[in-house]
Amino acid sequence: MWKWIGVAGIAGVAATGVILARDERARRAYTPDEVRTRLHERAAQLAAEPEPPDAAAGALSGLREQLGRRLRQLRH
């Protein structure tokens, strides 16, 4: 049984290496000009989208209130 677990582990590591190598080759296939163009396109898309309300600030204040309530409960 342990032999099969070892073989499966080695196969998993080999498969991960193949996937990483393939992704690296695909990433390196872009020229610097292509990368720059794609980044400019993404920036233009993000600039065109309306900004959502600041959800992070709302969530943070909610968490702050919860933490304050919990601390007050612990003190009493």
Eight-state DSSP code of residue 1:
-
* Domains of the chain by residue range: 2-75
Q: Which residue has the tokens 């872009």?
A: 30
Per-residue model confidence as pLDDT tens digits over 13-72? 877 877 877 777 777 777 888 888 989 999 888 888 776 666 666 666 777 888 888 888
Decide which of 5 and 2 is more confident.
5
Q: What is the pLDDT of residue 41?
A: 92
What pLDDT, on the 0 to 100 scale, is given for residue 47? 83
- Angle (nearest 5°) at CA 18 between 21 and 32: 15
Helices assigned H by DSSP within the chain: 2-28, 32-48, 55-75
**What is the C-alpha to C-alpha distance for residues 15 and 21, in angstroms, rounded to an integer?**
10
Whether 76 has a pLDDT exceeding 80, the answer reads no
Give me 31's structure tokens.
């020229």
Check pLDDT > 70 for residue 4: yes
pLDDT at res. 37 = 92
